[in-house]
């Protein structure tokens, strides 16, 4: 065969291989929301994913009565697992860094305002809130080997960080299988590594536009490069008082009352999704000014804020080089 014919056949083979590069795409329901995983491998890890999700739920789901965290909140003896320990330690770090703006012990107060799994307390008043606040403060919780020590009235709720942690667990599992290119998403929280080999491009993700009527649309699409992103919004879970003021489901950890805020959405980019998830919640409680000052000394975090100005118009603020 002539040399030109050989080169022609090689070109056809290479083109065919490129066209056949496909990602595996798995999706389902978990943690009260949906998930999707896209990765560059022919292996189907659905069973492994489901197993990991079950372990995390058994450890930290406040919606499962016999989970470790539910038993702990009933003051039953519990020996925590590595997942609980990982989330506990990161929660403590972010609690300290944010001066308590991120506080997993606010859970009982969240429930009282009917934003959590336990349902609201009837005839909630300032006395009941003050009583519940006596158990609030992550500094009141300690760890002794595999045992959590806490006041009996303290209710721990990792829902503001556990979903991001679940994303990381799936990502780390894929890396253990030598999968270098993937995107893991649970309820809008995302972790990426490598690239989208099917499209030969970086991973593209959307930043959602706030809508109070339940409509969904994107305000922006950005590329993530070996990063994770989490978004916390007040535009889906809120209460309105008699004057029409909106109060977010984020409870002020100092007062015990829902935060009145014009901050509608916060997206945070970090190295891992657990960290991004927790800081997105903390920044919503901190507000625009405190968040802006905080990020000046934390260049490892990027943030995108969407808020409503005095004219009830949307404005945006990108901090620390959040991609636009």
pLDDT tens by residue, 273-323: 999 999 999 998 899 999 999 999 999 999 999 988 888 788 999 999 999
Calpha distance 308→204 (Å, rounded): 26
Give the CA distances from residue 225 to residues 109, 203, 204, 305, 321, in Å, rounded to whole numbers and listed in that order.
38, 7, 9, 20, 13
Q: What is the pLDDT of residue 240?
A: 56
CB distance 72 to 88 below 8 Å: no
Calpha distance 280→95 (Å, rounded): 13
| Percent composition of the chain: helix, strand, coil (DSSP 3-state, to 5) | 35, 25, 40
Calpha distance 298→269 (Å, rounded): 12
CB distance 14 to 32 below 8 Å: no
Average pLDDT across the chain, whole number: 86
- Compute the half-sphere exposure of residue 184: CA atoms within 13 Å on the CB side of its CA: 27
Instruction: Give one DSSP letter per residue of 16-77, joined into a string.
Output: HHHHT---EEEEEEETTEEEEEEES-S---HHHHHHHHHHHHHHH-TTSTTSHHHHHHTT--
Question: Taking the alpha carbons of 265, 36, 201, 192 in that order, is the dihedral positive or negative?
Answer: positive
The answer for residues whose C-beta is within 8 angstroms of residue 152's C-beta and 6 or more apart is 75, 135
pLDDT digits (tens, 9 = 90+) for 183-205: 999 999 999 999 999 999 999 99
Reading across the β-sheet that carries 228-233, which strands appear in turn?
A: 24-30, 33-39, 182-186, 189-193, 228-233, 263-270, 302-308, 314-319
List the domains of the chain with CATH numbers.
Answer: 225-324 (3.10.520.10)
CB distance 85 to 69 below 8 Å: no
Give the CA distances from residue 110 to residues 16, 129, 186, 252, in Å, rounded to whole numbers and listed in that order.
55, 10, 22, 10
Q: What is the pLDDT of residue 174?
A: 98
* Beta strand pairing call for 218-224 and 203-208: antiparallel
Q: In residues, how long is the chain?
A: 324
Q: What is the pLDDT of residue 223?
A: 94
β-sheet bridge partners, residue 70: none
User: Helices 82-97 and 273-296 sit at what angle, rounded to 10 degrees?
Assistant: 10
**Helix, strand or coil, per DSSP, at residue 169:** helix
Among 299, 231, 256, CA closest to 100: 256
Calpha distance 277→314 (Å, rounded): 23
Q: What is the pLDDT of residue 12?
A: 39
155-173 average pLDDT score: 96
Q: Which residue has the higher pLDDT, 229 or 122?
A: 229
pLDDT digits (tens, 9 = 90+) for 13-46: 444 444 567 899 999 999 999 999 999 999 999 9
Residue 301 CB burial class (10 angstroms; 0-12, 13-18, ≥19)? buried
pLDDT digits (tens, 9 = 90+) for 94-139: 999 999 999 999 877 877 777 655 555 555 678 888 888 888 999 9
CB distance 103 to 95 below 8 Å: yes
Q: What is the pLDDT of residue 308?
A: 85
């Amino acid at each position: 065969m002539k040399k030109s014919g050989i080169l022609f056949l090689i070109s056809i083979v290479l083109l065919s291989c490129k066209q056949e590069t496909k990602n595996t795409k798995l999706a389902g329901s978990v943690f009260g929301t949906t998930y999707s995983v896209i990765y560059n491998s022919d292996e189907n890890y659905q069973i492994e994913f489901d197993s990991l999700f079950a372990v995390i739920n058994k450890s930290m789901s406040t919606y499962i009565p016999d989970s470790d965290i539910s038993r702990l909140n009933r003051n039953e003896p519990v020996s925590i697992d590595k997942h609980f320990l990982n989330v506990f330690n990161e929660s403590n770090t972010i609690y300290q860094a944010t001066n308590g703006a991120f506080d997993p012990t606010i859970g009982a107060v969240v429930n009282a305002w009917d934003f959590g799994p336990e349902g609201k307390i009837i005839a909630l008043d300032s006395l009941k809130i003050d009583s519940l606040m006596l158990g609030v403060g992550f500094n009141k919780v300690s760890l002794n080997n595999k045992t959590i020590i806490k006041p009996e009235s303290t209710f721990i709720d990792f829902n503001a960080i556990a979903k991001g942690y679940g994303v990381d667990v799936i990502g780390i599992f894929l890396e253990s299988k030598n999968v270098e290119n993937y995107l893991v998403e649970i309820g809008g929280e995302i972790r990426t590594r490598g690239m989208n080999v099917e499209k030969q491009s970086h991973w593209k993700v959307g930043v959602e536009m706030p809508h109070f009527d339940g409509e969904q649309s994107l305000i922006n699409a950005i590329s993530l490069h070996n990063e994770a992103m989490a978004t916390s919004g007040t535009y889906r879970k809120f209460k309105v008082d008699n004057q029409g003021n909106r109060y977010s489901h984020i409870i002020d950890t100092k007062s015990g009352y829902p935060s009145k805020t014009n901050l509608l959405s916060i997206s945070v980019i970090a190295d891992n999704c657990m960290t991004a998830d927790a800081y997105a919640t903390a920044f919503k409680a901190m507000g625009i000014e405190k968040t802006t000052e905080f990020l000046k000394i934390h260049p490892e975090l990027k943030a995108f804020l969407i808020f409503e100005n005095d004219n009830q118009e949307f404005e945006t603020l990108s901090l620390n080089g959040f991609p636009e």
